[in-house]
Amino acid sequence: MIVDCGIYREGHRVEGPSDLSDALDEARAAGGFVWIGLHEPSPEEFELVTEEFRLHPLAVEDALKAHQRPKLEVYDDSLFLVLKPVVYEPESDAVSSGEVMIFLGDAFVVTVRHGEGAPLAAVRKRLEREPEMLGKGPTAVLYAIADATVDHYLEVAGELQNDLEELETEVFSPDVAGSRHTASRIYTFKRQILEFRRASGPLALPLTRLAGNGPFGAAPPFVNDKARPFFRDVHDHLTRVNESVDGLDRLVSDVLSAHLAQMSVRQNDDMRKISAWAAMAAVPTMLAGIYGMNFEHMPELRWVWSYPAVIGVMVVLEVLLYRLFKRRGWM
């Protein structure tokens, strides 16, 4: 469905077209551009947009099917950028991602949103309050969406850092009973980081190209060369995000290793305790077994104090074993 359709001239929104097919012509006639926002459109709904703006069929296929990696494609009549905004859900401490596809031309911007992790309405309102920025044309819209997406990455990375600190406290807590499901939480947390990396990691190359850095030379077509410093700033923020995510991934792996090591130590302690109790139980069992074989010729068989003596020997041996195991930390 079409969420919004507006024509912008010199940074200000003018009266929208009555028919979508006239939007591009009116924008060019006014010396501005048109910005159309769609949310999970059907092929039938997107067909008119495709024909009006002459969008490349491969990019259209990606925009309709979604589930794409962040990427930048250059076609004859437009630029196609895929972003994956992320959303942190504090109730479940989970990270989910949506998708935003941006078609950029000389006088138009078409945004296609999938999922709920893409606050494009807020970006549009912010730009409409900054006519100087919006007056830069479609490139300003591309920059604003990329900047908002990456800035939100930083917020989510901060939330994940807080969750990791709580997880570390739980792992290194002396409360054994509270750590029964810790391994499951660590694996779940690692999956959240993986979901985050799928969104932020591949975006580095498209932003490098938009900034005109590295071996790619100038910025791609349909992008104003004066916007290169702005895209470099977004790329710097993304670098911080990726470094933070890499650090979180390493830390959670270390936490998992520490937890497994602690579980192994606890299991060894349990096995030592079981072995100590088994050894203490073996002494009276052995003595009772020997004296229970009912042989006629046995030491002290006819002695009145033989039974108490055997019991006393058992007690003395049990005390000696207990003190020995206690001294070695087995009990």
Residue 103: other Cβ atoms inside 10 A? 26
What confidence tens digit (pLDDT) does each residue in 214-263 have? 555 566 888 888 888 899 999 999 999 999 999 988 888 888 787 777 77
Neighbouring CB atoms inside 10 A of 184's CB total 9
pLDDT digits (tens, 9 = 90+) for 155-178: 999 988 888 888 888 777 766 444
Lowest mean pLDDT among 53-67, 198-212, 254-268: 254-268
For 91-109, the pLDDT digits (tens) are 777 888 889 999 998 888 9
Which whole-number Å values give the CA distances from 152 to 12, 93, 199, 308, in the listed order?
A: 26, 16, 12, 79
CA distances from 259 to 99, 170, 183 (A): 35, 10, 7
Q: What is the predicted pLDDT for the residue at 168?
A: 81
**How far apart, in whole angstroms, are the C-alpha atoms of residue 38 and residue 331?**
68
pLDDT, tens digit (0-9, with 9 covering 90-100), for 129-159? 898 888 888 999 999 999 999 999 999 999 8
Q: Provide the token pair at 326.
A: 């206690």
Instruction: Choose the weakest-confidence range: 31-35, 44-48, 141-145, 313-317.
Output: 313-317
Compute the CA torsion angle 245, 208, 112, 20 (nearest 10 deg): 160
Q: With cut-offs at 50, 70 and 90, classify the pLDDT of residue 186.
A: confident
Q: Is the pLDDT higher at 148 or at 182?
A: 148
Domains observed in the chain:
2-263 (3.30.460.20), 268-327 (1.20.58.340)
> Whole-model pTM?
0.76
